[in-house]
Structure 1
Amino acid sequence: MPVAQFLSQEYGLTVGTRLIPDPPAGTTLDAVTSASGEKVIASFATPLPKTISTTFAWIGQGPDGLESNPQGWLHTVTEDEVEEVERAADEFIATGKSIGELKREDFRIPNFARVLTSVANVINNELGLFLLRGFPVKKWSRFQSAVVFFGIGAHIGDRLPQNKKGHVLGHVKDLKVDPNAPETRRYMTNARQGFHTDECDVVSLMCLETAPEGGESMVASSTTVYNILQERYPEVVPVLFANWYWDRKGEEAPKQSPYFVAPVITWHKERLISFYVPYFATTTSRHQGVPPLSEEQKLAMQRLEEVCEEVALGMRLEPGDIQFVNNHPIFHDRQAWRDSPQQVRHLFRLWLSTGGWGGWDLPLYGQQPRMGFVGAEPSIPLEAEIGQ
């Protein structure tokens, strides 16, 4: 489907071609205090590099792409590693502790922990993504799978609540809600998401069941996207560095505004940081005082989506896969899918904070742990339920 058609159908956008005549040089991020006293992200002018050279600037396809060179981002677990992970899960379950109490030291995997140290390094310092393949989730109970997922995640970062219900264990599953309703978050639907980031450092998915059709995962380097935009469409770059309004989808904490302000991309401490959720941008004007998206913003969304599709790495997650994506240097997408009565796509999801774990230094936090959603007691549902 053409990008303009996708943006029109999914988000009701008609993309124009009017450009700002005198774009600013660029912006960076810092924290400021709004009139209501809330800490918000703001952008300030700063020189921008024309091209960014880094290991995070990869392409998905071609002989030099990640698809042709999976050794740097894909590890198929061995029988010994599976046995060690299963033993650690059994030992934790035998303690009688709740899964929410599970910490790194509770999941003892001395050999596989070395693999996870390498995984964390690739996520935080090299490519921004990793895939572990081959866990036998079909033979495990739902609870065993959750314990393994929590245990492995505990070696990467701190778990965060993902919605206003406090879900720490999230579920990506079609719950038959309207994907275009203003307060819907699309992980609860089978609709395509479009390239985006999540509101955490690292998002991780454990595949329990795949769909008979569709649902492919797509990941794209935001640095590569930036470099191409600078070369082909330099007029949209300052638009992406300017402040945008983002809808909190009805999940704001007490005294928080129902939206927040942040650029799509920013340059901070020699790294390009991305934040982009298209369906958070297209619904924000429902709030008083928030303007609709400008023609410049609509065009920037189209160009960003086009380049993401061009450079992306596609992967079909299979049962037993665990995927990690660093949201700061990576845009990710999930294609629409179709379930059958016999086969229903279902993935566990974790949001992880890597502040203090060697993760990225961020303007609002530095290396301090990130908070995720606030205002609700942590909840760990083993079955999918509507998060709002």
Structure 2
Amino acid sequence: MTINETNETPAGSPIDRKWTVEDVKREFPVDSTFTYEPSRHDWVERQFENAAKHRGEGLPTGFPESIDRPSVWDGFEVQNHPEQWLHYLTDDQNAALKAALVHWKSLNLPLGKLNKTTFPLPESFKAVTESWVEILLNGLGFLQLRGFNIDDFSEEDAIIVYTGLTSYIGDERLNLYNQQLFGHIKADSNYGPIDIVAPAQVPVEQVFHTDAIPGGNIVSFLAINGAETGGDSTLSSIGRVYNDIAKTRPDIIKTLADDWILDHGNTFRGTPGKFAKRPLLFHENGRIIAAIARRSVTGYGIWGRHKSLPRATEEQKEALDTLHFLGRKHSLNIPIRRGDIQFLNNYEVFHAREAYTDSAEKQRHLVRLYLRIDRIEWERSEHLKGNITKKDEVADLADEIWNFKPHAPIKIAA
């Protein structure tokens, strides 16, 4: 069957169509042999079978035997050197952020006009933010800011200050999901197993991934609160994982560098049958970079992969599991505290999350903002350049919707 975007798909999208459980099961069947939650047992079984089948194969053209950059690191090593990635805001910097907010409010401008000019910081602080950008692009690829005096602000003002600070990191901020600017990573007790379409809304472990936003090479988070227990941020170097795989199983690199059919229609904002076709792994500008979201291959919960799209191959299943389990092997865990701000190079660092438990007093809540830094030009992928985005996916700043609160759950009929 020819893959297209109109193969017998029901009218409307999950956000504007009243789905039933039977609709979902029929249109988005789940592959019980390959789900969002990786199985180590299944991964080992596939290794035995695929390793023998692909013995002797080499790396795809243009991919190096190994990569050597500051972004290639092991979690155990960097865990013991927090001075390389954990940065504490000073009293003067906190005072500068508070003064910038006062200045911004005095201008009485629309929120979309918030930028470096309207949220001014001292030259000394600007120099520090430049050093952070250097870390993101040419260093470890991530950093954690601690010591932001979040209790000095209302929640809304804290988000404004955070967004103003990100203006000094990204050349552009990207807003998705019906022009909404922020993603709210927060468990919602109003969701049930039928309604859940993204793991961000439940307190479960998230697998290693990058955020599949076209052109969004920086992901940032503000911690409104941490969990009662668990919920650590978990990071892993894509280059480090690549080196392990390239040394022992170059055929897996070839699988990742081939085109994949990625389901973009199995989310609450998607159109059934909509897909992207591209590789998951690239070698550009001396970097190994990835754009991988496991859910676009497996689905999540009762929302599987649309029936018009091909099932994942055994090689693809092994490849995705390999990324996750080697990511875990080399990972760094960072506890999340109220007021923490995290920046990640979305193409060179995998991120994941530990499962967690909330309490009445402490409910884990991160505000996510996507940024684009234009200093590195990508040639081989429209996804990395962001050229495949459309007006309804990434809006002009004037059209930003500052959604300070999480959206209401989308219910599925029984």
Which TM-score tier does this pair reach, normalised by the shorter chain? 0.7 to 0.9
* 3-state DSSP of counterpart to 2:328: helix
Q: Report the AA paired with residue 383 of structure 1.
A: K
1:94 maps onto 2:139 in alignment: no
From the superposition, tell whether residues 137 and 247 of structure 1 become closer, same or farther in structure 2 (CA, over 3 Å): same
Counterpart contact for 1:221–1:312, Cα < 8 Å = yes
Paired position in structure 1 for 2:280: 264
Structure with the bigger percentage of strand: 1
From the superposition, tell whether residues 182 and 22 of structure 1 become closer, same or farther in structure 2 (CA, over 3 Å): farther
Which residue, 290, 313, 329 being the options, matches 2:309?
Answer: 290
Paired position in structure 2 for 1:75: 87
From the superposition, tell whether residues 129 and 49 of structure 1 become closer, same or farther in structure 2 (CA, over 3 Å): same
Counterpart contact for 2:238–2:290, Cα < 8 Å = yes
* 3-state DSSP of counterpart to 2:151: coil
Which runs of no fewer than 5 residues in structure 1 stay unpaired? 1-5, 28-45
From the superposition, tell whether residues 9 and 183 of structure 1 become closer, same or farther in structure 2 (CA, over 3 Å): closer
Relative to the length of structure 2, the TM-score reads: 0.78
Kindly report which structure 2 residues correspond to 1:332-371, keeping only aligned pairs within 5 A, or say none. 332-355=351-374, 358-359=375-376, 361-364=378-381
Deviation at 1:362? Answer: 4.9
Counterparts of 1:212 and 1:183 in 2: how far apart (Å)? 22
* 3-state DSSP of counterpart to 2:206: coil
Counterpart contact for 1:25–1:47, Cα < 8 Å = no
Paired position in structure 2 for 1:40: none
Counterpart contact for 2:237–2:331, Cα < 8 Å = yes
Paired position in structure 1 for 2:176: 162
Counterpart contact for 1:10–1:180, Cα < 8 Å = no
1:112 maps onto 2:129 in alignment: no
Instruction: Give a deviation string over 1:206-248, Cα, whole Å, max 9, x none.
Output: 1111001111101111000000112233342222222222221
Which runs of no fewer than 5 residues in structure 2 stay unpaired? 1-32, 394-398
Identity of aligned residues (%): 25
Moved more, 368-377 or 112-121: 368-377
Counterparts of 1:143 and 1:275 in 2: how far apart (Å)? 31
Paired position in structure 1 for 2:291: 275
Q: Report the AA paired with residue 363 of structure 1.
A: R
Paired position in structure 1 for 2:161: 148
Point out 4+ residue stretches in structure 1 off by more than 4 angstroms: 6-9, 11-16, 22-27, 177-183, 250-254, 365-374
How many residue pairs were aligned?
359
Paired position in structure 1 for 2:205: 192
Counterparts of 1:180 and 1:238 in 2: how far apart (Å)? 36
Moved more, 280-289 or 220-229: 280-289
* 3-state DSSP of counterpart to 1:83: helix
Counterparts of 2:391 and 2:267 in 1: how far apart (Å)? 13
Deviation at 1:177? Answer: 6.5
Relative to the length of structure 1, the TM-score reads: 0.83
Which residue, 54, 71, 74 being the options, matches 1:59?
Answer: 74
Counterparts of 1:69 and 1:332 in 2: how far apart (Å)? 19
Counterparts of 1:368 and 1:244 in 2: how far apart (Å)? 18
Instruction: Give a deviation string over 1:334-371, Cα, whole Å, max 9, x none.
Output: 1121111121111111011112xx24535345996667
1:299 maps onto 2:312 in alignment: no
From the superposition, tell whether residues 183 and 370 of structure 1 become closer, same or farther in structure 2 (CA, over 3 Å): farther
Counterparts of 2:105 and 2:173 in 1: how far apart (Å)? 19
1:132 maps onto 2:145 in alignment: yes
Paired position in structure 1 for 2:29: none
Counterparts of 1:117 and 1:371 in 2: how far apart (Å)? 29
Moved more, 183-192 or 358-367: 358-367
Counterparts of 1:108 and 1:315 in 2: how far apart (Å)? 30
Counterparts of 1:208 and 1:114 in 2: how far apart (Å)? 26
From the superposition, tell whether residues 108 and 232 of structure 1 become closer, same or farther in structure 2 (CA, over 3 Å): same
From the superposition, tell whether residues 8 and 370 of structure 1 become closer, same or farther in structure 2 (CA, over 3 Å): closer
Counterparts of 1:306 and 1:190 in 2: how far apart (Å)? 20
Paired position in structure 2 for 1:308: 327
Counterparts of 2:37 and 2:141 in 1: how far apart (Å)? 27
Which of 1 and 2 has greater Rg?
2
Deviation at 1:142? Answer: 1.2
Counterparts of 1:134 and 1:153 in 2: how far apart (Å)? 16
Paired position in structure 2 for 1:38: none
Counterparts of 1:342 and 1:252 in 2: how far apart (Å)? 32
* 3-state DSSP of counterpart to 1:152: helix
Q: Report the AA paired with residue 83 of structure 1.
A: A
Counterpart contact for 1:123–1:129, Cα < 8 Å = yes
* 3-state DSSP of counterpart to 1:195: strand
From the superposition, tell whether residues 228 and 368 of structure 1 become closer, same or farther in structure 2 (CA, over 3 Å): closer
Counterparts of 2:196 and 2:141 in 1: how far apart (Å)? 29
Counterpart contact for 1:247–1:281, Cα < 8 Å = yes
